[in-house]
Each structure stands twice: as C-alpha cells, then as structure tokens.
Amino acid sequence: MFGCWKEIPRARAAALSAGTMRCRVPLVLAVLLLCLDRASAGLGCEGGCHSCMAQFGFEYVPCAPSPPPPPPSDGWFSTALHKIPQNEGNALGSPVTGTLDQCKVACLSNTRCWTFTYNDQTNQCYLKDKCGDPANNGGLQDLANFQTFYLQCWPESECPSNKIRLQNRDYPTRCVHTVEGGMTDGTKLHYWTGCDPGQNTDFTFARKAAGLPNIIMGHEASGKCWHSSDGEADQNGRKVHLWTGCAFDQTSDGKLEYRFEMYGRGSSQTYMSMVNVKHGKALHPDAGTDQDGAKLQFWDNTDETRIQLKVLCG
C-alpha cells in the first residue's frame, strides 16, 4: 500500500480522520530529508523515521486512490498503441482507408460495427462486430502500429439492469407487449399502446459471452424467452412467441439468438432493429402495420423504418 506524509497539527486532526487532508509535498520532503539525515547521524530519532516525522507534526497514512479517468467525450475508448484484442470478432467488409475520425464515422455508419483496429502508418482500419473492453473479453496482443478503438456494449452501457422496453420508432406511444398480457408458452408478441413499466412490456436480455453481439431475449414476469412460433425463423411470416427455455446451450445453432443492428448512432436519434442470428431475418410487424395488435414476425429486409425500435431502460 502506497502512502504519503500528512501534516497533522492537533487543530487539524479531525480533518485527517475525515480524509480531507492533502500532502504538502515540498514541506514534507524537506522534513523527511531532515529526519533521514538526523537518523543517519544518530541525532534523536528514536523509534525510526516515522517517530521522527511525528515529532515535526507529520504522520504516514495511506493515500486515497486516484479517481478513474473520465469517459471519452465522443464515446470511443481505445487500447494502447501497438495493442489489439486477441479475439477481434467478425470482420465487417473490406478495410477502410481514411483518418481516425473517418474510421469512427465508418464504424458508426455500419449497423453491426462496435470496434475497429487502426493502423496509423497506412491509415487503414478494419471494422469488427465485438463490443466492449477487449482486455475483459479475451485479452490483448502486440501488433506494431495498430491500435483498437471500441464502443461499450449496448444496451448494457445505458441499461445496466439488463431490463428494457421496446418502443416503436414512428409511434412512440406503442411498445412491444405480450398479447393480452399472457405469460404462458405460445403467447405471441405485438405492438400495443402503453410503454410504462409493468404493462407486460418489461423484457430482459442476456449476452452470450463478453463482447459478443449475440443475445437472448426474455420476458421478465414469466421467465420465458423469445422463440419462433415454429421453432425456426427461416421462413418469412413466422411469429415470435414466449416459450420455456432460455439457456444458451439450447441455442447452439443460433435460432433463439438475436443481435441489435444500430441506426443513427452519433446523433440524438438512435434506433435499432432485432435480427435473428441464424437466418438473418429481422422482426417486422405483420401486414406491414404498426397499429395496435400488429404481431411481431420474422421477415427479410433489416433496414426499413417500420422495424426500428428505441430501447427504454427499466
């Protein structure tokens, strides 16, 4: 444990116990050197240097830990230069040539991008789909001239309880509900007016592993998870319903797993769509309508406005 010498005149002893004192470095150093000099000469430093310092009104106490650095203003974190993740995630397209800022824009513009590795000699970046601090999900390795820039996993970064409500982009009074408030196997999901917590709108998510985009969606009140109504999502029109079974070891083929695809990142209007990992189909309202009662189903096309949702926490 590192510490520091703090001045403790009797009148300020209370301040020390309250942790409000600060080290007075020049004065402390001068007294410490004097004590060391006296100790080496055998001049009245019985009990060692700590005792000697106490004679001059100082005591050695643990220093308060330094506060953590503030998060970056633009939301981007980075590894040290010449460090990249051991597991970078899946590559998203060809390398992008540009400045660091241009690479950030390229990643934000890709609905699946959460991180990129940048070469400051070639001015090229490589977009990836893994999120969060790579030191916490696989560790780092050395690679000259490269550095990784990443975004925190979402929506954990905004909703640390992992409990969310899903609001319709174009009709913000409507959210995803269970049909008729049902909580049994086979209960389907649909849009309905009302987005307050506790209106059968509370869902949960669990990430498959640190940094991976794959998640499983659950219903908080019933403990059931989102399944395809026919066990697969490989055909357009198959509905989403609640069903028992939420463990990832039941979903090795990805049929229960989703990923969030993001739109409008870096702006005040950020929305996402939910895409089935196995088949790449997105959740759409049936009949192409966002009205009350429109059930959620799997369908091709992942970039249409009507399938975009806003996440509400808690």
Query: Of 94, 127, 150, at which residue does a domain stop?
Result: 150
Q: At 234, which amino acid appears?
A: D
**Structural domain contains residue 88:** yes
Q: Please tell me the predicted confidence (pLDDT) of residue 248.
A: 66
Residues 289 and 183 in one domain: yes
**Structural domain contains residue 117:** yes
Tens digits of residue pLDDT in 253-292: 667 888 888 888 877 778 899 988 888 888 998 877 778 9
Sign of CA dihedral 262, 175, 170, 266: negative
Query: Range with the lowest mean pLDDT among 3-7, 51-55, 138-142, 194-198?
Result: 3-7
Determine contact, residues 240/276, Cβ cutoff 8 Å: no
Residues 129 and 22 in one domain: no
Residues 169 and 281 in one domain: yes
**How does strand 115-119 pair with strand 83-85?**
unpaired
CATH number where 249 lies: 2.80.10.50
Sign of CA dihedral 144, 78, 206, 215: negative
Tens digits of residue pLDDT in 158-209: 888 999 999 998 889 999 999 999 999 999 999 999 999 988 899 999 988 7
Q: Please tell me the predicted confidence (pLDDT) of residue 55.
A: 56
**Structural domain contains residue 279:** yes
pTM of the model: 0.71
Residues 296 and 208 in one domain: yes
Using a 10 angstrom Cβ sphere, with 0-12 exposed, 13-18 middle and 19 or more buried, the burial of residue 74 is exposed
The dihedrals phi and psi of 166, each to the nearest 5 degrees, come to: -115, 110
Rg (CA), the chain: 28
Residues 226 and 110 in one domain: no
Tens digits of residue pLDDT in 4-30: 544 444 434 444 444 444 444 444 444
Query: Of 98, 126, 150, at which residue does a domain stop?
Result: 150
Residues 242 and 211 in one domain: yes
Distance CA 285, CA 293 (A): 9
Residue 144 has pLDDT above 90, yes or no: yes
**Structural domain contains residue 254:** yes
**Structural domain contains residue 67:** no
Residues 136 and 237 in one domain: no
Residues 176 and 293 in one domain: yes
Residues 86 and 142 in one domain: yes
Range of the domain at 111: 77-150
Tens digits of residue pLDDT in 224-237: 999 888 766 578 88
**Structural domain contains residue 72:** no
**Structural domain contains residue 157:** no
Residues 256 and 300 in one domain: yes
Within 104-214, strands assigned E span 115-119, 124-128, 140-142, 146-150, 163-168, 174-178, 189-193, 203-207
The count of structural domains within the chain is 3
**How does strand 124-128 pair with strand 96-97?**
antiparallel
**Structural domain contains residue 234:** yes
